[in-house]
Structure 1
Amino acid sequence: MAPSPIPADSPFPLTPAALERAAGLRRMKAVALGLLIVLAVVFAVAFPLQRMHPAWGFVRAAAEGGMVGALADWFAVTALFRRPLGLPIPHTALIPEKKDQLGAALTEFVQENFLDSDVAREKVAGLQVARAAGGWLRERPHAVQAAGEIAMAARGAVAATDDDAVQDLLQQLMQRHMVEPDWSPTLAGVLEDVLAGRHHEKVVDLVVEHTGDWVATHPEMFLETVRRRSPEWSPDLVDRLLAERLHAETLKYLAGVRADRDHEARRSVDDWLARLAGNMRDDPATRASVERFKADLFADEQLRAWAGRAWITLRDSLLAALEDQDSDLHRALVDALVDLGVRLQEDPALQASVDGRARAAASYALSSYGPALTGVIEETVARWDGRQTADTLENLVGRDLQFIRINGSVVGALAGLAIHTLASLVF
């Protein structure tokens, strides 16, 4: 009957609230035990005195009934948590002995009355999160907070990844999607689209323009070329005149290419690109050349090393920009979150979509993961030690159970008094 403190190896945390409950339990046990002792003293005094005066018989009956009620309720309360007086009495120490059954019953109770109940289904059916989330998110301080949480989550996710594994994954993806496929049909299709849309003409214009500007500003190059290729006996004047003529004709030709959209040089470029596209589709030699170029490109160790450095640099730059509240990326993220909050509150279609997805997710979670969630209760209880569980639960609810002992003493005393009074009146 002595109060049991919280066990040091309790499966529950020894919080200040738990320690306060333990102290309250000890106090209530002392009150119940004190009341039993008082009743025993009263009985011991009244029993020999009842022959002297009939009134003491009523006192003795009340004390006797109170002791019986107190002992019976002490037995009932104690039998929940341990064997009374250590005796192997059947159907005692119910919590330690029936711990696993209690966990299974609690699991079934939670599943049937909470997760599978009509209330839970009504809550899911009426779930509306869009307007509430939008109202919170449209406030800029909240958006800044959310952006900070996103940055922390991103850093945590990246910290959990292995750089070597990421680089291996990137190489595998590159091998699968860039190295293994045949480039020739794709490049041929690109060239054909360029030709069909006349997109290459801008490149031709750029080349002709810069070539013409360079030729116009470097006439001496023509003179030097003519001098190197002309005979030694050729007069310098003839070389100079020939160089000037070549320079003028070259500028004239480039100007013609620049002005005439149907110039023969432009048609030659078109024909060459068309032949190249056709060869990449149909010519085995051209296709083999493209594949050799591709293989040499991706086999280059410098390219692989650059790709690895690029991933690390990109990762660090993105994380730093996300966490820096003065960066353009962070401000853009905050602005996007604020805009999302405004749309969640003002766009009925978006609200309906978000709420519908939230309901579907909640319903799926309840149906798919509800048994797993409630199963945690049974598994957790199964891992507890029976004695530890009984001692800890007694400290959790035992204080209120001591009122049963006190009430049993009072009810027993009244019952004993009533029985003695009725017997005296009858007999």
Structure 2
Amino acid sequence: MAELTTVPGMSPEAEAQRRRALRNHKAFATGLLVVAALIFLLCSWWQSRAGGAPPWVGWVRAGAEAGMIGGLADWFAVTALFRRPMGLPIPHTALVPAKKDQLGDALSGFVGDNFLNPQLITEKVSQAEVPELIGRWLSGPDNAALVSREVGKFTVNAVQAVDPADAEELINRQVIDRLAEPEWAPHAGRMLEGLIEDGKTEPVVDAVITWARERIGEAEESIVSMIDERMPQWAPRFARDLVGERVYREVVSFLADVDNDPEHDARRSIRRFITQLAVDLQEDPAMIARVESIKADIMDSRAMRGAGAQIWQALSTALIDAASDESSALRAKVRELCVSWGQRIQSDAELRASLDRRINGAVKFLAENYSGEVTAIISETISRWDAREASDKIELMVGKDLTYIRLNGTIVGALAGVVIYTVNQLLFGG
């Protein structure tokens, strides 16, 4: 047996206001019934007195009698919907509490047949021209700004909802650990080989030569001094200075030739070294082992062990800042995409037709496969409601309108009684 749940309702203030209105309407309807009964009793007493009563009293008595009967009958009918009239165990009364589950099933079936019908839903969606509406809405600058703002809020909330420990674990498992799994040397060798084939290593050669020229240019005094120190002590001073300067000029000239000649032997040597390095990284066990040793040192370093937390902190901070700042590139890109997509949807008939087919297909799929689950929520929810509370809530919502039935029963009954009494008088006399 399902556990009974409380019926969801309105706010206490609104409920109190509805209860006052319902009591007032009930009191008025009951008061009218009491008035009809008093008039009937008064007229009956008047007619029973010696000498009788004027003829018009008969019409009044007939109207009051019929109104009283009509009011009582409709009071019984309305009351029987929600409870047993006067607490009497009369059959087919207290219908809402007694038939709550059946009412839920019937309401569920009604909604499913008439509102969640796949054919009806797809027809309505197709007639609505949803893609055109979406395109027109998105292309508005104010709406694009609204989308950008909501996307920003969603991004901030989503990022803040992530547990930093979970994010760090995910980054470590999916990025850091995966980075350490393969051997680095073969991958680096294949990458270097591809760069060589594409001619992308030539800037590296130029950079090496440029670096060498800059370092040599800054170290003239050091080079000359070093050569002087290695010259024999018995050599004259002018000879040591002359040799040091000559060697330096030759080195500078050599590097200039290398820099200016794309096919210089030194350049070719550097290229051969890079090519051989690509091969060794892939095939030389000693080179591979050396790179693996370097990788192990890197992965075991304190910096790499804390990389996950640092990456998430930097990434989350950047995302939150970008999503919160209306002038950020992220928010601007969202606005731009909204406007451009909206304009494209409006101008591209083929795109609209494609979106319409997709929307209709999705709606049809949902209606065909999940309408039963949606309508089942109605019957399942109602079945879990407490019967008396559900009856009370339903009466609170519709009871005020149902009191008009009682009023109509009293008034229409009175008029009908007068008409019937009049016809009787015309046909058969007093």
TM-score, normalised by the number of residues in structure 1: 0.87
- Alignment match, 1:239: 240
1:87-119 superposed Cα distances (whole Å, 9 cap, x missing partner): 222221111222222222212211221111533
Question: Percent of pairs identical after alignment?
Answer: 39
Report SS of the residue matched to 1:199.
coil
Query: In the aligned structure 1, how far is the partner of 2:290 from the partner of 2:312?
Result: 30
1:4-60 superposed Cα distances (whole Å, 9 cap, x missing partner): xxxxx8731136655444333223222221222122122222334445369455554
- Alignment match, 1:22: 19
5+ unaligned residues in a row in structure 2: which ranges? 1-5
- The 3 A distance-change label for structure 1 pair 20 and 118 is farther
Q: How far does residue 176 in structure 1 lie from its aligned partner after superposition?
A: 5.1
- Alignment match, 1:3: none
Query: In the aligned structure 2, how far is the partner of 1:228 from the partner of 1:307?
Result: 53
5+ unaligned residues in a row in structure 1: which ranges? 1-8
Instruction: Work out whether residues 11 and 389 of structure 1, in 8 Å CA contact, stay in contact via their aligned partners in 2.
Output: no
- Alignment match, 2:256: 255
Q: How far does residue 172 in structure 1 lie from its aligned partner after superposition?
A: 0.6
Q: How far does residue 346 in structure 1 lie from its aligned partner after superposition?
A: 2.7
- Alignment match, 1:359: 360
Instruction: Work out whether residues 129 and 355 of structure 1, in 8 Å CA contact, stay in contact via their aligned partners in 2.
Output: yes
- Alignment match, 2:95: 94
1:377 aligns with 2:378: yes
- The 3 A distance-change label for structure 1 pair 11 and 141 is closer
Instruction: Work out whether residues 176 and 308 of structure 2, in 8 Å CA contact, stay in contact via their aligned partners in 1.
Output: no
Question: What one-letter code is carried by the residue in structure 1 that aligns with 2:208?
Answer: V
1:323-378 superposed Cα distances (whole Å, 9 cap, x missing partner): 22344444344334333333333333443444444334433443444333333323
Q: How far does residue 61 in structure 1 lie from its aligned partner after superposition?
A: 4.3
Question: What one-letter code is carried by the residue in structure 1 that aligns with 2:31?
Answer: G
1:181-229 superposed Cα distances (whole Å, 9 cap, x missing partner): 3333322221111111121111111221231133234322221221333
1:328-343 paired onto structure 2 within 5 Å: 328-343=329-344
1:44-193 paired onto structure 2 within 5 Å: 44-50=41-47, 52=52, 55=55, 59-116=60-117, 118-175=119-176, 177-193=178-194
Number of matched residues? 419
Of 75-84 and 213-222, the range deviating more from structure 2: 213-222
Report SS of the residue matched to 2:306.
helix
TM-score, normalised by the number of residues in structure 2: 0.86
- Alignment match, 1:4: none
Query: In the aligned structure 2, how far is the partner of 1:199 from the partner of 1:128?
Result: 53
Question: What one-letter code is carried by the residue in structure 1 that aligns with 2:319?
Answer: L
Query: In the aligned structure 2, how far is the partner of 1:328 from the partner of 1:141?
Result: 18
Instruction: Work out whether residues 69 and 410 of structure 2, in 8 Å CA contact, stay in contact via their aligned partners in 1.
Output: yes
Instruction: Work out whether residues 124 and 363 of structure 1, in 8 Å CA contact, stay in contact via their aligned partners in 2.
Output: no
Query: In the aligned structure 1, how far is the partner of 2:289 from the partner of 2:346?
Result: 58
Query: In the aligned structure 1, how far is the partner of 2:216 from the partner of 2:27?
Result: 111
Query: In the aligned structure 2, how far is the partner of 1:418 from the partner of 1:333?
Result: 74
Q: How far does residue 303 in structure 1 lie from its aligned partner after superposition?
A: 2.6
Instruction: Work out whether residues 122 and 363 of structure 2, in 8 Å CA contact, stay in contact via their aligned partners in 1.
Output: no
Question: What one-letter code is carried by the residue in structure 1 that aligns with 2:224?
Answer: L
Question: What one-letter code is carried by the residue in structure 1 that aligns with 2:185?
Answer: S
1:34-49 paired onto structure 2 within 5 Å: 34-49=31-46
- The 3 A distance-change label for structure 1 pair 110 and 131 is same
Instruction: Work out whether residues 323 and 330 of structure 2, in 8 Å CA contact, stay in contact via their aligned partners in 1.
Output: yes
Q: How far does residue 413 in structure 1 lie from its aligned partner after superposition?
A: 3.8
Query: In the aligned structure 1, how far is the partner of 2:67 from the partner of 2:128?
Result: 55
Of 276-285 and 27-36, the range deviating more from structure 2: 276-285
Query: In the aligned structure 2, how far is the partner of 1:181 from the partner of 1:349?
Result: 47
1:348 aligns with 2:327: no
Question: What one-letter code is carried by the residue in structure 1 that aligns with 2:11?
Answer: L
Query: In the aligned structure 2, how far is the partner of 1:270 from the partner of 1:236?
Result: 41
Query: In the aligned structure 2, how far is the partner of 1:351 from the partner of 1:296?
Result: 57
Query: In the aligned structure 1, how far is the partner of 2:317 from the partner of 2:400?
Result: 57
- Alignment match, 1:322: 323
Question: RMSD over aligned Cα, in angstroms?
Answer: 2.9
- Alignment match, 1:214: 215
- The 3 A distance-change label for structure 1 pair 258 and 349 is farther
Query: In the aligned structure 2, how far is the partner of 1:352 from the partner of 1:258?
Result: 62
Query: In the aligned structure 2, how far is the partner of 1:312 from the partner of 1:100?
Result: 54
- The 3 A distance-change label for structure 1 pair 57 and 334 is closer
1:406 aligns with 2:407: yes
Query: In the aligned structure 2, how far is the partner of 1:322 from the partner of 1:153?
Result: 9
- The 3 A distance-change label for structure 1 pair 328 and 420 is closer
Q: How far does residue 81 in structure 1 lie from its aligned partner after superposition?
A: 0.8
Q: How far does residue 414 in structure 1 lie from its aligned partner after superposition?
A: 4.8
1:377-420 superposed Cα distances (whole Å, 9 cap, x missing partner): 23332343222221221121112211222222244445555666
Of 266-275 and 67-76, the range deviating more from structure 2: 266-275
Query: In the aligned structure 2, how far is the partner of 1:48 from the partner of 1:247?
Result: 143
